[in-house]
Structure 1
Amino acid sequence: MFSPDRRGALAGLAVLALLPRVFAPARAATSRDAGLVALLDRIDAGDPVAGLGALRGFDARGLSPVRRLDLLAVRQGLAVDARMLARWNWLRPGRSPYPVSPRTGNWRKVAEGGTVAADAIRADTQMLDAAANQGVVLPRALLDETLRAVEAARGRASGESAAALAGQAAALRKQRPHAPDHAGLVRLRGGSDYFALMLERALGEAIAPAAAHARAEAAARALARRADMLFAKLGMKGGSNGERFRALARDPRHLYADSGAGRDRAVADMNRWMARARRWMPQAFGTIPPAVDHVAARRMSRADEAAGRGGYRTVPPADGSGEGGYYVDLAHIRRRPDWTLSSVVHHELLPGHMLQMPIEAAADPHPLRLSYAAAFTEGWAIYAEELMAHAGAFEGAPEAELGYIQWALFRVGRALADTGIHSRGWTQAQAIARLRDLQGEGVIFAPIEEDVARICLEPGIRSAEFLMAASLADLRDIAGDVRDFHDHVLAPGSLPLHLVEAVARHDGAGTAVPTTYSGRGGAA
């Protein structure tokens, strides 16, 4: 939706329109597929120029639809990586610009009780030094956090590994006088260009960071206006939206009891929302895998709840031969007001991850393609929340709609923090203040301060996820048949945006993918 330049990546896609929507597995793979898979398996993502050379002469004729999309996506992604490597040739393309940080480095494996070879730790330190030689040094607060963590890991190690970690700690201490006060690629030499390439890589289409920021600002304004109207309906007319979200979150009428019965009630409420979504889905999806009948919101084990484990999911096979679901984190249940849970259902369960992930597993895209479609899975789940709001799921339930809006503002706020810090020079404090103003408190699994620190270290991905979701909504709104649109977009598995657009805009004959399940509500 953002760039008319496809750089030839869509050549040959038209053949997909000639194939039936669902066909027998025996016809799914072609004699050419195995050769492509073997070639993709050998490609080193750290050497994109060589990868492009290996793929340049590969003849796409005769490939199955999924493998053709693998080829197109990987070629495009490698081209972005080659441009990235030409600018910052000391860093592995697509990775954080900080080789060792609170979230990156082999020290983390040691901290978790694992064993790591000393040479791997020394290689991290060499990259840390190479980054510093290019002026890329962690912001001081994050450097201090990393140093403490590396020194703690050293205490758990022994022998050569302990010595290697001591050397890494010494390298960090040496960098400390040069550490900047504030984060952001825009503050680094060549950093603005690197951020734009990181964003393009994650999204799968080029967009100027300024345009990405403007899109997020417009979304934030629209959501804030709607929230203000809903708060007024509830008689909450004073204060900022952030203040009113905080007040609503403390309203005892919407809080569950901190007990087993309270947690059971929360899960039951989620499953009622999911049952409504499941009944509605045939209106929006032509082919629905049996897996959707085998998922549910579930309570964690008592041990996991007591340990405060984060929410997690188990994905069932598309054919419905196993069970799946979302195990919701309810350790701090008093921070989970009932109006926040319906949108969690639509994101984590239906029509979000528990629809998209089984379909993707059945399509079986190559892992290298998935690495160049980093924004799709989360972008789809964010879009699924918006889809339910667009379909009227929250009509007559203003609190639940405010829950959706708060989650949407969380996603938009992440995108604003990403572009704000890395392309506009925002400080972490500025980003934190903006997110608090938008959404009130941080969501249960992402305190605002921690989330902003993570965005400082992982540029591009949060904006890409928001933009993927927004683009899916744009494409849906111009699609002639929403069921056909969703089937086309989901069938091949995760795609970069330029291929999402191509698949979505087919002439309606269908994008064929191999499946082993019978569709419900559409073609079988």
Structure 2
Amino acid sequence: MPFLSACARTVGAAPLAPPPTVAPPPATTDATAKALLDSVAENLLRLSPESATGLGIDTGARAPLRYQLGDRSAQGQQRLASVLAADFNRAEALDASALSYPVRTSIEVVRSAYKTALEGLAFPYGDVAVGGWRNTPYVVIQNVGAWLDTPQLLENDQPIETAADAEAYLSRLSSFAKQLDGELGRLQSARAMGLVPPSFLLDKALPPLRQSAAKARTGGTLVQTLVEKTKAKGIAGDWEARARAIAANEVAPALERQAAELELERASATDQAGMWARPMGDEYYRWALKASTTTTMSPDEIHQMGIDQLKGLHGQMDSILKQVGYTQGTVGERMQALAKDPKYKFSEGDKGRAEIVAFINERLAWINSQLPRAFNTLVHPNMEVKRMSPEQEPGAPAAYGGAGSIDGKIPGRFWINLRTTDLHSKYSLGDLTMHESIPGHIWQGEYTHNEPLIRQMLAFNAYSEGWALYAEQLADELGAYDGNPVARLGYLQSIAFRAVRLVVDTGLHAKRWTRQQGVDYFVNVNGSNPLEVASEVDRYCAWPGQACGYKVGHTTINQLREQAKAALGPRYDLKAFDDAVVLGGNVPMDVLRLNIADYIARTKSA
């Protein structure tokens, strides 16, 4: 059924004569479908010009996009919904029966992503990720909003090679204030309908937001970045004076207006953590789970899945803990005791931060040497390890990562949170490295550069995060922890951590858990780091459902691997299976099942 369309029927009228026979339209060709995919991609790029910069394609005919920012106002949301609906209808009307398998897959991916996004945009609040991983009911909070996204874009991705590039930077800096005020209008509308974030999220968001405003008043990194880059390239101009004027007179007041609005919200906020306490909260959470997992699993089903998988993982951990001398107490209690052992800690301060980066680089060197054992088709990711900004660190997870631009000018980045070295341990950081970089997010993202442009713009949380967990598993299977049972405990605790997420996310949003219940479950049941899980639970409150995509996606990939083994017997090959998963691109789980079925059929017929 088309979106944004309606039909009328006349009741009681005489039966109509059958329509004349009309020859069916010719079957859609690959060329026609590819042209549609290209058109859909260009339409989405115009709505999200930041994506063009992140992909390194804001050049040539797309160069004007380098000067622009996405419209985050209510009108911008309406425009987004309208464009998505029109392009969804175009994709739905396509006869895909005669298309080649890869092109048909791309059409199915667009249909799935756009249908889910349009369902999310029907809610009168929040941000919807179009084929992305972060859906949120709150337009601005500790880990959401232009106040975080746009400075990161300008400071890390915005290219400055010429005077025109510097002008583009200033254009975006000026547009930043308009973008913030667009969000402000939506914040106010949401408050009017009773949608206010939990008090503890507001308490976490307000200090760094005020800090960002104060920095903008005096220039800060927004100005410093432009000055340093133009100086390095020898680009003459009054860049500093112009940037300071925009930052002080436009950006800082807009940030202050947002902070004032959040202070108003704080006055009426409660500590109720979950969506159940918000307008249309149960309906929103069901949609958020669908968007995150690309399944129709209910909150109860996901909750029970987490409990069941955690039991099996803790059984493995119990055996290793006994082997290394931890015999008393629950698995969670013994993992807490292990975390206190000084030999697994990094030093404090800058010395420890340097140790962490060196540790990561050593693990990257090892895994790179092993990957020919797991893939037939290898990529060579251009990447760097980089510390998060001080403004971002308080509301951010321990790390995150993603691939770089198509042209290689923007490297893939493994962002590490170093606000305190106690966030990381020597038995868990190796596994985290595999998840965020290689063979996890950065590695998988490199394969998308061979996909049609729209496929590089659309990603699915269950696939992205399911693959990253599968990457952790591959590292274990390739021998990352051979002879180091404590490090393997770190890996198993990481997988168990994602099983706990299923329980805690559904607990918060569907079963009326408090924030403290969520934190306690992590610490007491899984022995997780209290410093890390406090931010984790806050993240689930801000991004309902997102945390459930990891284990659902991971479970699906392993189910499909077992199906391939059973169907192919001695013809099954790990490298061929892994290729089938990554070369098929980032897809919803139903499309992944089709991709693996195609791999099995091709292998049988070869």
TM-score (norm 2): 0.66
Rounded to whole Å, the distance in 2 between the matches of 1:134 and 1:266 is 49
CA distance in 2, matches of 1:57, 1:260: 54
Contact 2:96 2:104 in 1 (8 A): yes
Matched ranges for 1:443-462 at <5 A: 447-462=532-547
Greater gyration radius: 2
Matched, 1:405 2:492: yes
Cα deviation for residue 231 of structure 1 reads 0.9
- Any idea what SS the aligned residue of 1:339 has? coil
Does residue 310 of structure 2 align to residue 225 of structure 1? no
Q: Is the 8 A contact 2:88 2:115 kept in 1?
A: yes
1:83 counterpart (96, 99, 119): 119
The answer to whether structure 1 residue 463 and structure 2 residue 548 are counterparts is: yes
Q: CA deviation at 1:430?
A: 0.6
Residue 468 of structure 1 and its aligned partner are, at CA, apart by: 0.6
**Whole-Å Cα distance in 2 between the matches of residues 333 and 171 of structure 1?**
34
Counterpart selection for 2:187 from 125, 128, 145 = 128
Report 1:250-399 matches (<5 A).
Answer: 250-254=340-344, 266=359, 270=363, 273-274=366-367, 277-278=370-371, 280-281=373-374, 285=375, 287-289=376-378, 291=380, 336-353=424-441, 355-364=443-452, 366-367=454-455, 370-371=458-459, 373-389=460-476, 394=481, 397-399=484-486
Residue 153 (structure 1) shift: 4.3
* Cα distance in structure 2, aligned partners of 1:368 and 1:319: 13
Aligned counterpart, 1:477: 562
Select the residue among 172, 184, 197 that pairs with 1:138: 197
Equivalent residue of 2:600, what SS?
Answer: coil
Equivalent residues of 2:580, 2:599 under 8 A apart: no
Q: Distance in 2 between matches of 1:161 and 1:332?
A: 30
**CA distance in 1 between partners of 2:360 and 2:580 (Å):** 32
Change (3 A) 1:412 1:338: same
The offset of 1:505, in angstroms, is: 1.9
The 8 Å contact of residues 349 and 355 in structure 1, kept in 2 or not, is answered as yes
In structure 1, the residue matched to 2:109 is 73
Q: Is the 8 A contact 2:372 2:378 kept in 1?
A: no
CA–CA distance in structure 1, aligned partners of residues 357 and 444 of structure 2: 27
Cα gap change, 1:109/1:491 in structure 2, threshold over 3 Å: closer, same or farther? closer
Give the superposition deviation at 1:435: 0.9
Match of 2:36 in 1: 35
Q: Work out whether 1:490 is the aligned partner of 2:490.
A: no
Residues 377 and 494 in structure 1, CA contact (< 8 A), matched pair in contact too: yes
For residues 319 and 162 of structure 1, the distance between their equivalents in structure 2, rounded to whole angstroms, comes to: 34
Question: What do the CA deviations read for 1:8-57 (whole angstroms, capped 9, x no partner)?
Answer: xxxxxxxxxxxxxxxxxxxxx84641332113432564334333223332
Query: One-letter code of the match for 2:582?
Result: L
Residue 100, structure 1, aligned to residue 100, structure 2? no
CA drift at 1:188 = 1.8
- Given the superposition, is the C-alpha separation of residues 253 and 196 from structure 1 closer, same or farther in structure 2, using an over 3 Å criterion? same
1:289 corresponds to which letter in structure 2?
L
For residues 144 and 76 of structure 1, the distance between their equivalents in structure 2, rounded to whole angstroms, comes to 37
The offset of 1:451, in angstroms, is: 1.6
Distance 2:365 2:473 in 1: 19
Match in the other structure for 1:237: 327
Match of 1:184 in 2: 274
- Normalised by the length of structure 1, the TM-score is 0.76
Give the 3 Å change call, closer, same or farther, for CA 328–270 of structure 1 in structure 2. Answer: farther
Give the Cα–Cα distance (whole angstroms) in 1 for the partners of residues 473 and 509 of structure 2: 27
Can you list the C-alpha shifts for 1:233-275, whole angstroms capped at 9, x where unaligned? 1221112323322332343454567579966973575257526
Q: Share of identical aligned residues, percent?
A: 26
Q: Quote the Cα distance in structure 2 between the aligned partners of 1:370 and 1:268.
A: 30
Shift of 1:452: 1.2
Gaps of 5+ in 1: 1-28, 512-522
Which deviations, in whole Å up to 9, do the C-alpha atoms of 1:287-331 show, x marking residues without a partner?
23253xx789x8779x99xx99986768589999x9989687789
Distance in 1 between residues matched to 2:107 and 2:86, nearest whole Å = 15
- Amino acid of the structure 1 residue aligned with 2:378: P
Cα offset, 1:115, TM superposition: 4.3
**Residues 165 and 83 (structure 1 numbering): CA distance in 2 closer, same or farther, change over 3 Å?**
same
Q: What amino acid is the match of 1:196?
A: R
Q: Secondary structure at the match of 1:246?
A: helix
Give the CA RMSD over aligned residues: 4.2
- Tell me the matched-pair count: 471
Q: 1:163 to 1:250 in 2, by over 3 A?
A: closer
Q: Give the equivalent residue in structure 2 for 1:515.
A: none
Specify whether residues 131 and 324 from structure 1 end up closer, same or farther in structure 2 by C-alpha distance, changes over 3 A only: closer
Q: Which protein has greater RCO, CA pairs closer than 8 Å, 6+ apart?
A: 1
Write out per-residue CA displacement over residues 185-243 of structure 1, whole angstroms, 9 at most, x where no aligned residue. Answer: 11123211111111211222221111111111111121122211211112211123233
Who is 2:59 aligned against? Answer: none
Distance 1:170 1:317 in 2: 37
Which moved further from structure 2: 429-438 or 393-402? 393-402
Partners of 2:204 and 2:431 in 1: how far apart?
A: 34
Over 3 Å counting, the alpha-carbon distance change for 1:99 and 1:506 in structure 2 is same
Structure 2 vs 1, CA of residues 273 and 245 (structure 1 numbering), >3 Å: closer, same or farther? farther
Cα 1:185–1:63 change in 2 (3 A) is same
- Match of 1:479, SS state, is helix
